[in-house]
Amino acid sequence: MTPDTADNLLRLGVELDLLSAAAAEDALREVGGGGDAQAFGQALVRRELITGYQLDRLLRGETSGLFYGRAKILYQIGAGAFARVYRAVHRDTGGMLAVKVLRSRFAADALKRAAFIREGEMGRTLRHPHIVAVEDVGQEGTATYLTLEFVEGQTLRQLTKIRGALDLPRALELMHQLLGGLEYAHRRGVTHRDIKASNVIVSATGVAKLADFGLAGGDDPSDRRGQAQATKLRTVDYAALEKLSGIHDDDVRSDIYFLGTVAYLALSGRPALEDSRDRSVRADPRRFTLVEPLGSRAPHLPRDVLDCVGRMMHTDPEHRFQTAADARRAVEACLEKRAAEGDVAAAAAPAGDVPPSAARASVMLVESDEQAQRKLREFFTKLGYRVLLTENPQRALARFSTAPLPANCLVISTLTLGTCAVEAFNQLASDPFLSPVPAVLLVDARQRAIVDQARTDALRKVAAMPIGGVEMLALIRSVTTLPG
DSSP string, 209-220: EE---TT-EE--
Between CA 396 and CA 431 the distance in angstroms is 14
Q: Name the amino acid, one letter, at 127.
A: R
CA dihedral 245, 247, 252, 254 (to 10 degrees): 30
Between CA 432 and CA 421 the distance in angstroms is 19
Residue of 53, 93, 51 lying closest to 69 (CA atoms)? 93
| Rg of the chain on CA atoms, in Å | 25
109 carries an active-site annotation: no
Catalytic residue among 167, 194, 237, 250: 194
Between CA 19 and CA 10 the distance in angstroms is 8
CA dihedral 354, 358, 361, 364 (to 10 degrees): 30
Contact 259/308 with Cβ under 8 angstroms? Answer: no
Distance in angstroms between the alpha carbons of the first and the last residue of the chain: 46
Give the distance, in angstroms, between the CA of residue 436 and the centroid of all CA atoms in the same chain.
Answer: 30
Q: Which residues contact 402 (CB under 8 A, 6 or more apart)?
A: none
Pairing of strands 143-149, 134-140: antiparallel
Between CA 251 and CA 253 the distance in angstroms is 5
Q: Which residues contact 147 (CB under 8 A, 6 or more apart)?
A: 68, 69, 71, 88, 97, 98, 99, 134, 135, 136, 137, 138
Q: Which residues contact 352 (CB under 8 A, 6 or more apart)?
A: 152, 153, 154, 159, 202, 203, 204, 205, 206
DSSP string, 297-354: H-TTS-HHHHHHHHHHT-SSGGGS-SSHHHHHHHHHHHHHHHHHTT--TGGGS-TTS-
How is the chain split among helix, strand and coil, in percent rounded to 5? 45, 20, 35
Residue 82 DSSP SS3: coil
Q: Return the active site residues.
A: 194
